[in-house]
Structure 1
Amino acid sequence: MTSLRPPRDRRTVRRLPAALAGAAAGLLLAGLIATPADAVPDGSAPPGTQARSVGHSRFVPGPCPRTPDPIPALQGARCGTLTVPEDRSRPKGRKITLSVAVVAAAGRRHAPDPIVWFAGGPGDDALTEAQLAIDGGLNRDRDVVFMSQRGTYTADPVLTCPNIDEFYAHSLGLVYNAPSTGRLHVQATRACRESLTRRTADLGAYNTLESAADYADLRVALGIRRWNVFGISYGTDLALAYMRTHPEGVRSVGIDGVLPPSLAGGAVTWKAAREGFDGLFAACARQPDCNRRYPHLSRTFEGLVRKLEAHPVTTSVTVPGQPGPVRVTIDGGVLVTWLTSATHVAAGVPRSIDELAHGNPQRVAEQWAGGKLSPQAIGRIAHGLAFGVFCGEWTPYESEADVIRGGRRVFPSFPRSVLANAPQLPFLHADCRAWNVPALPRSVRDVTRSDIPTLVMSAGFDAQTAPSNGPYVARTLSRATTVTVPYVAHVAFAESPCAQTITTSFFDSPTAPDRSCLTGLRPPQFEIAP
């Protein structure tokens, strides 16, 4: 399983705005800093400076938590914890703790309504994404609130399972779609489940509806009358659920890399792959040098998927930080999943595909292995939350046959063995049978209907959450502004200054964001091999 989030390894992704490739050096500072009184609703204390309770939840100020890498954006943040019921149907039962950090507005103008950040994944920790938000200028005029979703790295309990990440690293030499690989995959999932249940976690309580309620409690516990929401990737699924179940106190919502709850599952990842790949291939075709050197790129790619699924190739590559050569097997499933992330380094994709077609798999193998073996790939994703979402909200309402049909609609030439494992979600139904949590009510997949001003942003090369998901969601949001940022991959805000400008202007004017920068955007200059 690969979480639906922007990839972080710098060998797989071009350098993002000092965020997803890992934070720079620096020490986290605990402590509370003063905020101008005009930033606070009703003249009360700044968010994050007072202990407050709401129902069975309670916020307490305290030191900032340890993060896997230093996050300079959190220096001087006001921090604390929100304690909530693990299962709200048993409010007096076991409690869990979520870390909270409030980063102050940078400018002299200080709007009274902060922005709360909904992290991706599912399973990413919001505090580890803080650098992305701040580098993108989200705190220009507003405080930005970050809270770890339940089970994530800075929460308690922490539902990470390094054994799953280590399995992905150790399985680089295996055939991706082989039944034997599937059995090992499920064994790793089952071992994760057993380790978490030994820690007494109620795995059925880690889901989108409980997380939405956590954020509703946080707003009240921080004394915030109105706030704005910004969600990326899976955080858009959470944001849409939050709008539907807890609309009170929400001034506006931005969602980027849209994953609609009503569509979430394996079939939509096939649609996303088709749209993202086609966007990249079409950009190459429109560039004369690229089209001349790499003609019929889509046909070449699909032919490679069929060929490699029948006859996988194995090679050895050197990966920084590894003691020796790493053995990598590339079959059709690997090639598809590699490209869903490689759209982030679009300029080199045509050359990589062409070299693979001519018998040189090194570039693809190096990127594939680099992502799996990066230190940032081990022990950071909350698989307990991810499987809670996948297995409680997705697989109960989508069969394995649905996934295959979804893939065949958009890639009719792919072998069944490739279509059975949706991009980013291999062996998911078998994993969920091992995970064994109750299905949430079907209403978790309801379409969100709202008149809250909403920025619905997609990326033209997004092969992880389909660009067409944006207009789909906007149909039932009466005050939606729909934007597609061309030539960038999943989560436009992460790598497009234009997307960042549109986002910040939206929170200033939720019904009239400035989209003028879109007219100046140009495609990448694709690499041409000598």
Structure 2
Amino acid sequence: MQKPIILLLLCCVLFSCEKSKEKSIRFTPTFTISTETTHTIPAGQEYTFGYLEVLENREKPAGKTIQLPVYIFKSRSNNPKPDPIIYTVGGPGNSTMRSAQYMKYYQYLDDRDVILFEQRGTEFAKPSLDCPAWSEAIYKSNFPEYNEAKRDSLLEAAARTCRERLIAQGVDLNSYNTNAIAADIEDLRKVLHIEKYNLLTISYSTKIAQVLLRDYPTPIRSVVMDSPLPLEVNYEEESVGNLLEVVTMLLSDCEEDEKCAEKFPNIKNRFFQYLRDATENPLQVTVTNPNTGKPATFHLQGKDLITVFTVTNSNNSAYVPNEIQKLLNNDLSSVKAQLESLFDRPTQFSGSGMGMRLSVWCAEEYPFASKNIIVAEKTTYSEVLGLSPMVFEPNICGIWKVQPLKAIENKAIQSDVPVLLLSGEYDHETPVKWASAMQKNLSNSYHLVFKGWTHTVTTNWGNPCGMEVANAFFNNPNQKPQSKCFEAMQALEFVTE
């Protein structure tokens, strides 16, 4: 009877030694320069491209590593400021690398270096958590023959396919979240020996900025949060209400504008009544499927028609009342054009970064949202009855099976680092009120609202005023940015012809 006990003790000792050995391993992140880039950079722009190598799971020091592409663009100044800007975009799941082709338009390079950072799991990272099955399912689900039940089944199958493929590749889906991305940026800072830096973040990536301010604040000189998404906000509890609030605001502004009110009298009440009527008696619209040449008939309710006219582009805001008037006059040309576009198979962004988006959302957004409030969001507003506020339905997160993050990831941060909050007046995705509420915890912050604009004001290529304001702040983060373009900004002039 003694022999098995001795063997058991020996195994325990060996196992303990192995665990101790693993704990003693200290992986050091590296940055390796590469001559093969993600995009072709126009001649004349000096840059360095390479890959940051970090642990996929920092709790496993002997585990696998991942590679994240990084561009370091040199300033156009002969005497650049010593603190670069680290820039990463939103989504979650979007790629920052696409900006590399257009850096000559970025005003920031007039004063300092700009570093483009690709978040783990996105398109050009290694691995990329792409999900082509999901993209295909979204494409098919837009067809009129797919009712809600069929659509759910289609998306569930796609989520399973994507998860199984990524798991088979050895991907740890629990390691793709905002905390890990923030730690990646801190590793990049250390590897590049950057003492102080500035952050430029938009939409989802403003959450990364908040985690960095909370967990790694010392080297951060200043932060621009364009269209901020506060950590403490439960997006899906408010998304439908925020949409209706912005549409109400825009149409109310039209009614207060003499020219717009004369052209489109009482447009707000007429449009909302139209949506309620369509909810009870769906609007039947037939278009030709260009792939088959056969007719396809859609039955549109208020929840469908409101999304036709959501304000998603600052350059389009002025046209919204005119487009609504066309609909009220039974001119379905714009609706038909948008329905026909649903049959166009996407040639890019085909599921790239979708696995990362699923991991982020299902680990740190979905777990904190109140299911009762979400149900109420679907039934509270008669104009869009049944419109789901959810980015991913519970069954999808149930399939994805990532661990919920700790409650601190749903708590507001406090910071005295200089922060500039930028909002678009008609942004329903990250509304003005969210940034306004954040200010009470950011003691050294400023908030600017761009009249008539919508989401992500620093990327409005039709008017680079948002970029000008952000750059002014980076150059002097201890005062509210002074910008002639912003001071000259007027209320939106609606298109009435």
Would you say same fold, with TM above 0.5? yes
> Equivalent residues in 2 for 1:421-436 (5 A)?
421-422=388-389, 425-436=390-401
Q: Which has the higher contact order (CA 8 A, sep 6+)?
A: 1
Counterparts of 1:202 and 1:382, CA distance in 2: 15
Provide the C-alpha distance between the structure 2 equivalents of 1:71 and 1:354, rounded to a whole number of angstroms: 44
Structure 2: how far apart are the matches of 1:372 and 1:235?
31
Normalising by structure 2, what TM-score? 0.86
Residues 1:440 and 2:405 are matched in the alignment: yes
Query: Alpha-carbon deviation of 1:327?
Result: 4.5
Gaps of 5+ in 2: 1-25
Offset from partner CA, 1:280-299 (integer Å, 9 cap, x none): 22332233232222233332
CA RMSD after TM alignment: 2.7
* Partners of 2:202 and 2:228 within 8 A in 1: yes
User: For 2:51, which of 57, 65, 81 is the aligned residue?
Assistant: 81
Which position in structure 2 is the counterpart of 1:500? 467
SS where residue 247 of structure 1 aligns?
Answer: coil
Does the residue aligned with 1:91 lie in a helix, a strand or coil?
coil
Q: Give the aligned partner of residue 388 of structure 1.
A: 359
SS in 2 for 1:88: coil
Matches of residues 288-307 of structure 1 in structure 2 within 5 Å? Answer: 288-307=258-277
Amino acid corresponding to residue 211 of structure 1 in structure 2? I
Instruction: Mark the CA change 1:347 to 1:439 in structure 2 (over 3 Å): closer, same or farther.
Output: same
Unaligned runs of 5+ in 1: 1-53
Deviation at 1:467, TM superposition (A): 1.3
Q: Does 1:189 align with 2:156?
A: no
The question of whether the paired residues in 2 share the 8 Å contact of 1:185 and 1:427 is answered with no
Amino acid at match of 2:482: D
Aligned partners of 1:314 and 1:132: how far apart in 2?
Answer: 40
Q: Is the 8 A contact 2:289 2:296 kept in 1?
A: no
In structure 2, do the counterparts of structure 1 residues 333 and 326 end up closer, same or farther at CA, with 3 Å as the change threshold?
farther
CA deviation after TM superposition for structure 1 residue 196, in Å: 1.8
Who is 1:417 aligned against?
386
Structure 1 residues 518 and 325: CA distance shift in structure 2, 3 A? farther
Q: How many residues align?
A: 466
Specify the SS of the correspondent of 1:251.
strand
Partners of 1:461 and 1:489 within 8 A in 2: yes
Q: Secondary structure at the match of 1:455?
A: strand
Q: Which amino acid is 1:194 matched to?
A: E
User: Which of 30, 33, 36 is matched with 1:61 structurally?
Assistant: 33
Distance in structure 1 (CA, Å) of the matches to 2:191 and 2:395: 40
Alignment of 1:36-115 (within 5 A): 55-67=27-39, 72=42, 76-115=46-85
Given the alignment, which residue of 434, 445, 457 partners 1:469? 434
Asked if residue 216 in structure 1 is aligned to residue 186 in structure 2, the reply is yes
- Do the aligned partners of residues 397 and 450 (structure 1) sit closer, same or farther apart at CA in structure 2, a change above 3 Å counting? same
Counterparts of 1:329-368 in structure 2 under 5 Å? 329=298, 330-344=300-314, 345-367=316-338
> Is the contact between residue 352 and residue 364 of structure 1 (CA under 8 Å) also seen in structure 2?
no
Instruction: Say which of 457, 478, 483 aligns to 1:511.
Output: 478
In structure 2, the partner of 1:124 is: 94
Which residue does 2:22 correspond to in 1?
A: none
Aligned with 1:234 (options 197, 201, 204):
204
Deviation at 1:60? Answer: 1.1
Name 1:315's counterpart in structure 2.
286
Paired position in structure 1 for 2:18: none
Moved more, 520-529 or 460-469: 520-529
Question: Helix, strand or coil: the match of 1:461?
Answer: coil
Q: Distance in 2 between matches of 1:293 and 1:377?
A: 40
| TM-score normalised by L of structure 1 | 0.81
**Closer, same or farther in 2 for the Cα pair 1:75/1:110, shift >3 Å?**
closer
SS in 2 for 1:340: coil
Alignment CA distance shift 1:81-1:413 (3 Å): same
How is 1:150-169 mapped onto 2 (pairs within 5 angstroms)?
150-169=120-139
- CA pair 203-415 structure 1, distance change in 2 beyond 3 A: same
